[in-house]
Structure formats: structure tokens, C-alpha cells
Amino acid sequence: MAEQIHTPVLLERTLELLAPALGRPGAVAVDCTLGMGGHSEAMLTAFPELTVVGLDRDTQALEIAGERLRPFGDRARLVHTTYDGIGEALDGLGIDVVDGVLFDLGVSSLQLDRVERGFSYSKDAPLDMRMDPTSPVTAETVLAEYPESELRRIFYQYGEEKLAPRYARRIVEHRAEARLTRSGELVDLLIAATPMALQRAGHPAKRVFQALRIEVNGELASLEAAVPVALDRIAESGRIVVLAYQSLEDRFVKRELAARTTSTAPQGLPIELPEHRPDFRLLVRGAELASADEIDRNPRAKPVRLRAAERIRRTA
């Protein structure tokens, strides 16, 4: 059952932050990363008048979440799309503005726990890594077809991997003899290419697998397109909560929320004119981390960084 394999991260804190917006009569929330529906189920249970629009690119996740949320009837509206499709999804449902938005970023428990999906470097599986199984590009495709310069770039940019040139070169040398098709083969190659002294600092495959996953699924591009649209669709006094698990995502969210919560008044202006006032205010200072107790209960909460904001005025 989904309930047995999926523990939502920071569930109580997320509900606490969203509660003032989601408890309003006729409220609508968007769960931009539905997964197996854990957060959505909790929101629908806690707020009896709430409707949740759940978005996910993963057809397996949508099937599981659909069963889980079936008791809520048409209060749960599920859409097969990436989170940058939030605008089109809401338009298709005839929804103009929403009261709450949740992004729980990164790879889902379903994707990690299904070995055959190839997301984990600790289990041998086909080099897939697609969040949407209908997408044509897999990790195997990237490793087989990208030029060395592009492999180096994505390992640097998406994995922040210092050994990117070495790893890219070894992959290109290997594929000249045989195509990489399994995660175990890639892990062995990366370990062999890593100086012994650096292997003690962490698993050599961790950052490369992260980079491949982000590239295969276009995660950062999708996030950069989705968050501004989501913020634009939030009603006055509505709220957004974002859970990020790696620095690239968190830095973008931090910048976007900072831009929306900062006055645009020129320096030296004696008074702040209404048009210069920010549209949002931050609900937490900096990035909020999971407590030690939360991490003990759910180790996948360890890297999470939570940011949240509330719309304080709506001009259009």
C-alpha cells in the first residue's frame, strides 16, 4: 500500500503553514508534486471544504494517488503534467486563482523505492531515471549520445561535481567499446575513476546520478518556469510552501521569493509608494530544516529546506 511506503516530509509543518489559507470556504490548493498523494490526503482530511488539484508527470504515481484519494471524490482533481504545466492545468479546470500551492521537489519515494526505475546508485537497474515513463529520453540515452563536453557540463551544473571532466572522459572512452545500460556498470566506472582519497568523502556516484536525473527530467527548467506562474495564481492571503532537497533548487526558490517579498522603491525615496510594495511576505526566516526527531522518523527529510510565503496584496 502507498501508506506503507510513503512518509510525507515535514507534513505537520506544511499543514500548519498552509492552514490559514486552506481553511477558507471553497479553498483550492495545488499539489504540484503529487507523488503518491500523502500531502494531498492530509490536506483534504484536515480541510473538509478544500479542493486539491494534484499534478504529476509519473503515471504510476497518479494511479496510486488516484486510489488513495478516491474517497474524497471530486475534491481531488488529478492532472498528468509536469509542474510547469500548472497554468494550463488550472485553465483546463476553469480555476483562475488558488489559495495554496505546495512543491515537494526532487525524486519521490515511489521512484526511489521501485528499483527498476534506476534512480538509486545503491541498486543495480536499467539506466532509466524517467519520472514520466512515457518520455523518450533516459539516462542511458544521455550517457550514450551526449558529447563529452555536454556530459561535463551537466555533471558540473546539476551535480556540482568537481571530477566532472574525469568522469565524462571515462564514460566516452567506455562507450566506444560498449554502451552503458545498467546503473551498476556506471557506478563501477565512477568508482574506478575516483581517487581513493576522495572516495572516503562520499559515494562517487551520488552527484553524477543527481545530475543525470535532473537532465533526463528537465527538473530545473521546469521549476524555473513553474514557480513564477504558481506565485501569479495565488489569491490574496494565499500561501506557498516549497520543500527543496538540493542546493540548486533551493537557491532558485530563495531568489524568486526574495524578489517577490522585497520593495522595488528606489533607494533614497522618502516614502514607499503603493506600486513599490512587495506582493508577498516570507513566513519563515531563511530555510527551515527538519528536526532531529523528524529525521529519525523519516531519514529522507535530512536534506530538506523549507521556504514559505504569503500573498499580502494582489494588483491584478
Apex 215 CA angle, 193 and 190, nearest 5? 10
The answer to the question of residue 303 being in a domain is: yes
39 is in an annotated binding site: yes
Per-residue pLDDT of 238-266, as tens digits, reads 999 999 998 999 999 999 999 999 876 66
Kindly report the backbone phi and psi dihedral angles of residue 54, in degrees, each rounded to the nearest multiple of 5, phi listed first.
Answer: -105, 125
Residue 204 has what pLDDT? 85
203 is in an annotated binding site: no
Boundary-marking domain end, from 196, 217, 238: 217
* CATH number of the structural domain spanning residue 147: 1.10.150.170
Count: domains in the chain: 2
User: In tens digits, what is the pLDDT along the chain, a chain of 316 residues?
Assistant: 444 456 789 999 999 999 999 999 999 999 999 999 999 999 999 999 999 999 999 888 899 999 999 999 999 999 999 999 999 999 999 999 999 999 999 776 655 656 567 777 888 999 999 988 888 999 999 999 999 999 999 999 999 999 999 999 999 999 999 999 999 999 999 999 999 878 777 788 999 999 999 999 999 999 999 999 999 999 999 999 999 998 999 999 999 999 999 876 667 666 765 666 899 999 999 999 999 999 998 888 999 999 999 999 887 6
Please, which residues have CB within 8 angstroms of residue 204's CB and are 6 or more apart in sequence?
163, 187, 190, 191, 193, 194, 198
Boundary-marking domain end, from 189, 217, 245: 217
* CATH number of the structural domain spanning residue 34: 3.40.50.150
Residue 265 has what pLDDT? 62
Q: Hey, is 186 helix, strand or coil?
A: helix
83 is in an annotated binding site: yes
267 is in an annotated binding site: no
Range of the domain at 143: 116-217
232 is in an annotated binding site: no
Residues 88 and 234 in one domain: yes
Residue 133 has what pLDDT? 84
Q: Which three three-digit cell numbers place residue 18?
A: 498552509
